[in-house]
Amino acid sequence: MAADFDTTAMATQTTLLNPRFYTTDFDEMDRIDVSPVREDWDKLLAQMKSDPNKGHFKKNADWDKVDWAGMDPALRVEFIDFLVSSCTAEFSGCVLYKEMKRRGSNPDICELFSYMSRDEARHAGFINDALREAGVAVNLGFLTKAKKYTYFRPKFIYYATYLSEKIGYARYITIFRHLEAHPEQRFHPIFKWFKEWCNDEFSHGEAFALLMRTDPKITGTWAARMWIRFFLTAVYSTMWVRDHARHDFHKALGVNIDDYDQEVFRKTSTIARQVFPVELDIDHPRWIPGLRAMNAAMIDMETCTKKGGVTGWLGHKIAATRAMLAFAGLYLIPVKRNTPPASVRLEPSY
């Protein structure tokens, strides 16, 4: 049916908002010494080794029949976009973690990354199964070769990946808890799988928290604080813009996008106190207006790109400047300082 979607092309695109593929200095990462966090490390790795979600990512009797053809067309477009973007993000983790495991020789690092790539492969595969039912699976093999890779220094990989794992946890568990209370709004069975799923993301985040704790320089310097602040602002504002482009999807779930995003930021920020020395002030009076200004500028950028020509080009430049100013405004909101606790480990509690 929905053959009008070229999901592989959607996933391959490199835009500001699409999930990216990353590469890094694998040798530097391979030199990490986890001895300063050995006790917590061994516990976490033993838990990952036990593979609690081994049988989870399989369709069973809970997987109700999906009426793709009867779905409201606007909702179908946005839901497929959501699935493609989630699948790309999961697969991006899989590719990066697998590469780390393949290139590394440090047994601690190789073991961690083999468990994490195992999990992300399952996650991406499970979403792709849902897309396959709609006749629009993403060609993941093609994606590995065709998609552009963004290089990040290991330090930035820690900040970005830690955040995306923890925000992934917060997103999945918030949707799950909402639909647990409002099952009539669960318009697709995949949401039933989110609870165990988010626990994988939680422990991946824990692993990065431990990696960051191996060396005080990673989070303890002035420059580190500036970069962490930058990544927090970038990840949060990107999520805001991306979610606000999916009006019908959130309406079908019965979710107010502003409230949902703020709730996800709040959970993520609370968790991130385990390791980040700064926290964004999402209750600051300039926070929501700044996000709205950024969203409006991004929408105008897209409209101008579609318009083309000289006016489109000029309009795009103006809108891009507005987006940058909005981002700078968000970045400059005073942050809250935080002293991470002596013991870094957390358990999922939402």
Pattern 148-187, Fe ion, x by CB under 5 A: -----------------x----------------------
Residue 164: exposed, middle, or buried by beta-carbon count in 10 A (0-12, 13-18, 19+)? buried
Phi, psi of 335 (to 5 degrees): -95, 165
204 in contact with Fe ion (CB under 5 A): yes
CB of 150 to Fe ion, least distance (A): 18
Number of residues that make up the chain = 350
CB of 325 to Fe ion, least distance (A): 33
Positions 268 through 297 that interact with Fe ion (CB under 5 A): none
Q: Please say which residue, 169 or 227, places its beta carbon nearer to Fe ion.
A: 169
**Interacting residue with Fe ion among 40, 201, 243, 279 (CB under 5 A):** 201
98 in contact with Fe ion (CB under 5 A): no
- Could you tell me how many residues of this chain bind Fe ion (CB under 5 A)? 6
Which stretch of DSSP H or E encloses residue 200?
Answer: helix 194-213
Residue 335 gets which letter from DSSP? P
Pattern 53-92, Fe ion, x by CB under 5 A: -------------------------------------x--
Do the Cβ atoms of 207 and 224 come closer than 8 Å?
A: no
CB of 86 to Fe ion, least distance (A): 9
122 in contact with Fe ion (CB under 5 A): no
Residue 80: exposed, middle, or buried by beta-carbon count in 10 A (0-12, 13-18, 19+)? buried
CB of 79 to Fe ion, least distance (A): 19
Q: Please say which residue, 40 or 165, places its beta carbon nearer to Fe ion.
A: 165
Q: How far apart are CA 69 and CA 12, in angstroms?
A: 26
Q: DSSP string of 125-165?
A: HHHHHHHHHTT----HHHHHHHSPEEE--HHHHHHHHHHHH
**Per CB under 5 A, which region of 120-128, 186-194, 270-278, 333-341 contacts Fe ion?**
120-128
CB of 279 to Fe ion, least distance (A): 22
Other Cβ atoms less than 10 A from the Cβ of 244: the count is 19
Which stretch of DSSP H or E encloses residue 278?
Answer: strand 278-279
**Interacting residue with Fe ion among 98, 101, 118, 123 (CB under 5 A):** 123
| Assigned token pair, 140 | 């993941």
Binding site for Fe ion (CB under 5 A): 90, 120, 123, 165, 201, 204
